[in-house]
Amino acid sequence: MLKMTHLSKVYRTEVVETYALRDFNIDVKEGEFVAVMGPSGSGKTTFLTIAGLLESFTGGEYLLDGADVSHLGDNARSKIRNEKIGFVFQSFNLIPDLNVHDNVEVPLRYRGMKSAERQKRIQDALERVGLASRMKHYPAELSGGQQQRVAIARALAGSPRLLLADEPTGNLDTQMARGVMELLEEIHRGGATIVMVTHDPELATRAQRSVHVIDGQAVDIAEEPRFHAHAEHAEAATTQANA
Amino acid sequence: MFAYYLDLAIRSLKRNPALTVLMVVAIGFGVAASMITYSVFRAVSGNPIPDKSARLFTPQIDSWGPQYNDRGEPPQALDYTDAMALMRAHAARRQTLIYPVQLSVLPGGNRSLPIKANGIAAYGAFFPMFEVPFRYGSGWSEAQDEDRAAVVVLGAAFNRKLFGGANSVGREITLGGHDYRVVGVTRHWNPVPRFYALFGGGDIFGKPADFYIPFTRALDLQISTTGNNSCRQRIPATGWEGWLHSDCVWINPWVELDTPAAVARYRNFLEGYSAEQQHAGRFGWAPNVRLRDVTQWLAYMHVVPPESRIALMVSLGFFLICLVNTIGLLLAKFMRRAGEIGVRRALGASRLQIYLQFLVEAATVGLAGGLLGLLLTAAGVSGVGLLFRPEIARLAHIDLSLVGLTLAVAIGATVVAAFYPTWRAAHVQPAWHLRSN
């Protein structure tokens, strides 16, 4: 599903070059749930934004769903983001002017979907996260956990094949975090590929496997997966991580 | 998607009403100032006879020579000798000579007090040449020109004043102590500026002529011009005949030429005539003639009042300043939403879609500014008398084209002003803003 080979990302100024990622290799199979861990500044969020085609990379190769995305233009990258990738952010990133319904609708609008189809998908996604009754609420009227569930519903509404989560429980208390993790696990069991960046080792244990990023390199493979959404995914879950 | 963008724009504008009002007011005042002065400029600089302006020409002949002419340009009117020579030559399809006159008239018969009426002395070709519309009757014939007939055509307003607007054809009126038979009454006809008698002095943006009488009759009665009369050398003899045969220029000549070939032929004719005058010893210089059509003539005569041009430029400058302010406000407004832009980009919006979303928002501001501008323009047009001479101020008016132009300028200018803020918005780095949120 997601394969990066010898990938690098360099931020250049007039006086200094900073490697955010260096010779970064990772292979996430379809249907996997992978936790990406590492200290602050290690490059894990950079990895996630490159994986989500929100940022370009300097060198190496990136295959997404088998296709090389290195040289795609803005329209093609936007289309892939819209159709194949779902994002869940630490700070939810809901649009404050839009109510729950309209927030979930955003990616569907950019897909040019007809109104009836949009309404069905919004209803389904919100029911799945247990917030169908809060459609008309604005983000400010919801708790943090509810906002994150709306963000998840927004990601789910487009039926993405890859869900990228950046510290999805980072702003939540323990109980809310548990609820969000259970939701992610349920989504994974439904067949989605999930890559989750987290600081929290305990959360990482709930993924099938963990990848550690240190100084811009994927350096470690965690222990055996703990649960398997599908047998074939589990078999395929061999991580390519090179130091 | 347009409806979606419009919905987003309205939500965004409602979110920060103070900023929105500020932008709308800036656009509204800017566009109103421009449109008010434009309404005046349009009135004084428009083509007064668009259908025929390219076929109507005024000939100029240099009867003054290089010593007295205006930096090589022939005088702006003809003297009597040259004017009559052109009429006799009959080298154009139609031709007329024109000069303004003023005569007294008794509106209520012999018992009433006389009033002064402004008229035009012209040949009968004047009416078809300038497409003067008639309510009753018609102009006079070429034969009546030659017969120096005592006939008159009345303007619509003057006919109302004298005859209550009734069909007065065949009635007699007394002008300047002489009787004239009414042969026609025009509909309202007042091409502005009064291009056909620019040398006539007076108010070229003013009211239409009260009456029209034959040029030949006016000469017979020795009715002098109320327009300009410009002379360069001493008048050789005194009296009417002395004036007629002087180098004083006071006659506005016009010819109608339908094709470029006819124009070329007439220009050759003018040069030939001028060369003849040189050979005859009347002109001591080489032929120096001009043949300008209506728009060329208006430009040459600098008809547009300078205050109108200056006011338009000042108001456009003011509008530009308003737009620059709007650019700043839009930039602040859009960049405050960098987080939202990042989210939209992450969820699949292309740069083009971000462009469109924000341009629609800018156009919405422009539309609101345009509507405010319309109200202010309506109020301002009624007060242009504070800025312009009354005869010019009264030309300013609001019509559908000005309404459309006001809205189009407001929306168009705001969208153009929004290009840079929108470009900045569309180039927001989503990764950076999502990471920092």
Q: Measured between beta carbons, which residues in chain A are less than 8 angstroms from residue B350? A: 74-75, 78-79, 110
Q: Looking at the predicted structure, is the pLDDT value of residue B109 above 70?
A: no
Q: What does pTM read for this prediction?
A: 0.71
| B210 close to B157: Cβ distance less than 8 angstroms | yes
Beta carbons of B115 and B107 less than 8 angstroms apart: yes
Query: pLDDT band at B319, cuts 50/70/90?
Result: very high
B202: pLDDT confidence band, cut at 50, 70 and 90?
low
pLDDT at B108 over 70: no
Task: Give the side-chain half-sphere CA count within 13 A for A58.
Answer: 15
pLDDT tens sequence across A122-132: 999 999 888 99
Q: Are A58 and A8 in contact (CB under 8 A)?
A: yes
Q: Chain B within 8 Å of A56 (Cβ-Cβ)?
A: no
CA distance B40 to chain A (A): 45
| Dihedral angle, C-alpha B215, B220, B221, B222, nearest 10 ° | 80
Partner residues linked to A166 by β-bridges: A197
Residue of A124, A171, A178, A102 whose CA lies nearest to A143: A171
Interface probe, candidates A9, A57, A78, chain B, greatest B C-beta count within 10 A: A78
For residue B359, which phi and psi values (nearest 5 degrees)? -70, -35
Share of chain B above pLDDT 70, in %: 96
Inter-residue contact B227 to B99 (CB < 8 Å): yes
Q: Which residue has the higher pLDDT, B34 or B108?
A: B34
Please report the pLDDT score of residue B436 as a whole number: 45
For the ranges A71-75, B175-179, B199-203, the lowest mean pLDDT is seen at B199-203
Q: Select from B4, B352, B434 the Cβ nearest to the Cβ of A89.
A: B434
The helix (H) or strand (E) run that includes residue A28 is strand A17-28
- Select from B11, B15, B435 the Cβ nearest to the Cβ of A49: B435
The rounded distance, in Å, linking the Cα atoms of A11 and A55 is 12
The pLDDT, as a whole number, for residue B232 is 84
Residues B47-61: what's their mean pLDDT?
92
**Distance between CA atoms of B381 and B396, rounded to whole angstroms?**
6
Decide if A78 and B15 are in contact by the 8 Å CB cutoff. no
**Cα A183 versus chain centre, distance:** 14
CA distances from B249 to B121, B123, B307 (A): 15, 18, 28
CB contact under 8 Å between A74 and B15, yes or no, is: no
In chain A, positions 162-191, which contact chain B (CB-CB < 8 Å)?
166
For tokens 């050979």, what's the residue?
B279
pLDDT interval class at A8 (50, 70, 90)? very high
Which residues of chain A does B431 touch, with a Cβ-Cβ cutoff of 8 Å?
Answer: 46, 49, 54-55
Paired strand residues for A173: none
Residue A108 has pLDDT above 60, yes or no: yes
How much is the ipTM here? 0.86
Cα angle B265, B269, B272 (rounded to 5 degrees) comes to: 135
Q: Which residues of B lie closer than 8 Å to A, measured between beta carbons?
A: 1, 4, 8, 11-12, 15, 339-340, 342-353, 429-431, 434-435, 437
Distance from CA of B386 to the nearest CA of A (A): 47
**DSSP-assigned letter for residue A145:** H
Q: Which residue has the higher pLDDT, B27 or B309?
A: B27
Q: What is the mean pLDDT of chain B?
A: 90
Q: Do B349 and A78 touch (CB under 8 A)?
A: yes
Chain A residues with CB under 8 Å of B352 CB are 74-75
DSSP B77-93: SEEHHHHHHHHHHT-SS
CA A74/CA A107 separation, integer angstroms: 16
B311 vs B274, higher pLDDT: B274
Query: Which residues in chain A have Cβ-Cβ distances shorter than 8 Å to B348?
Result: 78-79, 81-83, 107, 110-111, 158
User: Using only C-alpha atoms, what is the Rg of chain B?
Assistant: 30
Average pLDDT for B382-398 = 76
CA distance B420 to chain A (A): 19
Query: CB contact, 8 Å: A111 with chain B?
Result: yes
Beta strands in chain A (DSSP E): 2-12, 17-28, 33-37, 59-64, 67-68, 85-88, 162-166, 193-197, 209-214, 217-221
As to burial, measured by CB atoms within 10 angstroms (0-12 exposed, 13-18 middle, 19+ buried), residue B281 is exposed
Q: What is the pLDDT of residues A191-240, one digit of tens each?
A: 889 999 988 888 888 899 899 998 888 875 544 444 444 434 434 443 34
Judged by CB atoms closer than 8 Å, whether chains meet at B348 and A91 is answered as no
Task: Say whether B348 and A55 touch across the interface (CB within 8 A).
Answer: no
Whether the CB of A101 is below 8 Å from some CB of chain B: the reply is no
Euclidean distance between CA atoms B184 and B171, whole angstroms: 10
Give the residue on B whose Cα is nearest the Cα of A79: B348
Domain segments of chain B: what residues?
Answer: 2-47+305-436, 63-256
Q: Estimate to the nearest angstrom the gap between the alpha carbon of A222 and the chain centroid.
A: 19
Average pLDDT, chain A: 85
Q: Note the pLDDT tens digit of each residue in A153-197.
A: 998 898 898 999 998 888 888 888 888 888 888 889 888 899 999
**Can you name the residues that pair with B97 across neighbouring β-strands?**
B253
CB A192 within 8 A of CB A29: no
